[in-house]
Amino acid sequence: MLNKFFYLNTIGCQMNVYDSGQIATLLTGMGYKQTGILETADLIIVNTCTIRAKAEQKAFSFLGRLASLKLKKPELIIGVGGCVAQQEGDHIFKRVPHVDLVFGTQAIGRLPLFIHKIVEKRCRIVDVGLTELPDLTDRQPGRPYSNSVSTFVTIMRGCDNFCTYCVVPHVRGREVSRHPDRIIDEIRDLVRFGVKEVTLLGQNVNSYGKKEGLLSFPELLQRVKTIEGLLRIRFTTSHPKDFDNSLINAIKTNEKLCQHIHLPVQSGSDRILKRMNRKYTKTLYLDKIAKLRDTCPGIAITSDIIVGFPGETDTDFNETLELMTMVQFDGLFAFVYSDRPNAPAVQFNDKISEQEKRKRLQTLLELQENFTREKNQALVGSIQPILVEGSSKKRSIDNIGRSRATDQWTGRTTTNKIVNFNYSNDPPMDAKILPGKIVQTKIEKAYAHSLWGKPIGVESATGRLKGEKSYAA
C-alpha cells in the first residue's frame, strides 16, 4: 500500500471547494492519504483563485513559503491547479521554480496521469488547454471529501456572460451544463453518505441546460426535490438578467428549496451596470426583487457589490447606496474593484484611486451593517427550523462561577442565517440533537453575523421543512 500523503490548500469560491473534493477523491483513489501538516506531505496541491488580485497574491505567497520544504525534501511534488494555473500557465515555473505541475481548470480529471509521470520521470508538466468540451469528469461515487451535512454540487461550468470586470470566462471557459442524470446520481450518492443539504453551483444557474437543450433550471430543481433523504436545496449564483418568474414560482412551490437567494447586483447605477455589461437596469433589478418578495414573503436576499469600478463617480456610488437602502439586503459581499488580466475593464482609463475605493467600501459596509442587524433582530422571538451542521466545545461560566466546556451546536435557518445554541437540558430531546437533524429553535438573541437560540423540538422522521408541523420534543 502506498504510504504517501497529500496536502490540499483551497483558495477561493465554492466552485474551487467542489473541485478540491474531486481532486481529493482522485488522490485518495491513487492511494494517497490526506494530511493537514505540510511537513509530512509528499504531494502539495494548491487550488487557486484569480477572481480578485488579492486571491492571486494569496496563492503566490503560499507557494513562495514552500521553497524551504522543497529544499529539505527534493522528492516533494508541488502542483498548482485552478484559475491562477489557467491564467499563468508555464509562467508559474519562472515565478516559483520549485513547482512541478501546473494544471488548469479543465485538467483535473488527468491529475493521476500527471502525478504518475512526475514520480516516474521527475519532469515538469503544464496542462492549461481550454476547449469547448471541458473536463466534466463526474465525482467518483463513494464517501464525500468532507463529512459535512451540507455540500456543493457543480451543475455547470464556465460562463458566457463576459462582464467587463470578470476573469471567469477567460479562465473557466464557455458555459457547459452537466447532464441532469449525472447530477441526480451524484446527489443520491452524497445522501447515502449523510448529506442532507446541497448547494447547486453555476455562474448563472438560470441558463442551466439551455445551450444543450437539457432540462430548465426549475425542472432540474423539481427532479432534485424527489431525492429521498435530501432535506434542503440551495443554489448559487442567479444572474439578475435571467432571474424570472419560473424560478420565483419554483422557490414558492418546491418545499425543499431554501428561502434564500443570492442575486448579485454589482452596482445601483445604470451607467456603471452598462459599462460592466450586466444587461439589466436598476429598475429591472428592483422590479424582480419586488415580485420575489411579493410571491415569497420572508425570503432572505443577499448580493455582491463592486465599489470603485472604473469611472464610478460619487453620484454613481450614491445610487448604489440608494439601491441598498431600497432593497435592504440580508447580507452583502462587497468588493473593491481590481484589474484582472484579459478582462476588458483593464483597458478602461478612468480608474479610481485605491484610497477612494477603500473609503467607499467603508461607507457601504457601515450602511449594510445596520440592515443586517435589523434583519437579524427581527427574528428574535421567532421559531426557526435549523439544520444542524456540527458542534464545537465552548468554555462558559456557570451560575456558581465555574468555567465549563459545553457543546455548542451550530446550524442554519432556511434563510441561511447561522444559529448557535446549547443543549436544552431536556435529556430525551438533547439526545436527538445531531448533525443532519432539523431542530426547531426559538431565537433569543441577534448578533452582527449570527443568532443565538434555544432548542424546543427535534424533527420527526418525515424530514419536512417549511411550515413544519410534526416535531417531537
Distance CA 20, CA 18 (A): 5
Taking CB under 6 A as the rule, does residue 160 contact ligand SAM?
Answer: no
Q: Which of residues 145-174 bind ligand SF4 (CB under 6 A)?
A: 159, 161-163, 166, 168-169
Cis peptide before 325 (omega within 30 of 0): no
Q: CB under 6 A: which stretch of 150-158, 182-190, 331-339, 422-430 binds ligand SAM?
A: 331-339
**Binding flags for ligand SAM, 366-405, as an x/- string (CB under 6 A):** ----------------------------------------
**Binding flags for ligand SAM, 181-220, as an x/- string (CB under 6 A):** ----------------------xx----------------
**Binding flags for ligand SF4, 198-227, as an x/- string (CB under 6 A):** -----xx-----------------------
270-273, long-range: CB < 8 A, 24+ apart:
271/311, 271/316, 272/309, 272/311, 272/312, 272/316
Taking CB under 6 A as the rule, does residue 306 contact ligand SAM?
Answer: yes
Nearer of residues 78 and 156 to ligand SAM, judged by Cβ: 156
Among 134, 169, 264, 457, binds ligand SAM (CB under 6 A): 264
Taking CB under 6 A as the rule, does residue 169 contact ligand SAM?
Answer: no
Q: How many residues bind ligand SAM (CB under 6 A)?
A: 18
Q: Name residue, grid cell 454540487.
A: 153
Q: CB under 6 A: which stretch of 88-96, 132-140, 335-343, 427-435 binds ligand SAM?
A: 335-343
- C-alpha cell recorded at residue 278: 450586466
Q: CB under 6 A: which stretch of 67-75, 97-105, 330-338, 374-382 binds ligand SAM?
A: 330-338
Residue 66 touches which of ligand SF4, ligand SAM, none (Cβ within 5-8 Å per kind): none
Distance CA 37, CA 30 (A): 20
Taking CB under 6 A as the rule, does residue 239 contact ligand SF4?
Answer: yes
Q: How many residues bind ligand SF4 (CB under 6 A)?
A: 10
DSSP label of 266: B
Nearer of residues 169 and 308 to ligand SF4, judged by Cβ: 169
Taking CB under 6 A as the rule, does residue 237 contact ligand SAM?
Answer: yes
Nearer of residues 219 and 304 to ligand SAM, judged by Cβ: 304
Beta-carbon contacts of 165 under 8 Å, excluding residues fewer than 6 positions away, are: 276, 306, 309, 337, 340, 343, 345
Among 165, 285, 329, 409, binds ligand SAM (CB under 6 A): 165
Among 338, 372, 414, 424, binds ligand SAM (CB under 6 A): 338
DSSP string, 195-258: --EEEEE-SSGGGTTTTTT---HHHHHHHHHT-TT--EEEEE---TTT--HHHHHHHHH-TTB-
Nearer of residues 168 and 224 to ligand SF4, judged by Cβ: 168
Nearest one of 390, 412, 219 to 331, comparing CA atoms: 412
Taking CB under 6 A as the rule, does residue 266 contact ligand SAM?
Answer: yes
DSSP label of 108: G
Distance CA 391, CA 456 (A): 17
Local structure of 334: helix, strand or coil: strand
Q: Which of residues 22-61 bind ligand SAM (CB under 6 A)?
A: 51-52
Nearer of residues 62 and 335 to ligand SAM, judged by Cβ: 335
The minimum distance between CB 200 and ligand SAM, in angstroms, equals 13
Q: With helix as H, strand as E and coil as C, how does 267-288 read? A: CCCHHHHHHCCCCCCHHHHHHH
Nearest one of 79, 115, 107 to 19, comparing CA atoms: 107
The minimum distance between CB 14 and ligand SF4, in angstroms, equals 12
Distance CA 222, CA 220 (A): 5
Beta-carbon contacts of 355 under 8 Å, excluding residues fewer than 6 positions away, are: none
DSSP string, 15-37: HHHHHHHHHHHHHHHTT-EE-S-
Nearer of residues 203 and 440 to ligand SF4, judged by Cβ: 203
Q: Name residue, grid cell 434542503.
A: 232
Nearest one of 409, 407, 414, 408 to 388, comparing CA atoms: 409
- C-alpha cell recorded at residue 469: 408541523
The minimum distance between CB 203 and ligand SF4, in angstroms, equals 4
Distance CA 285, CA 268 (A): 9
Residue 51 touches which of ligand SAM, ligand SF4, none (Cβ within 5-8 Å per kind): ligand SAM
Among 8, 11, 13, 231, binds ligand SAM (CB under 6 A): 13
Among 5, 60, 335, 371, binds ligand SAM (CB under 6 A): 335
**b (16+ CB within 10 A) / e for 349-368:** eebbeeebbeebbeebeeeb
Nearer of residues 344 and 463 to ligand SAM, judged by Cβ: 344
Binding-site ranges for ligand SF4 (CB under 6 A): 159, 161-163, 166, 168-169, 203-204, 239
Interface positions with ligand SAM (CB under 6 A): 13, 51-52, 165-166, 168, 203-204, 237, 239, 264, 266, 304, 306, 335, 337-338, 340
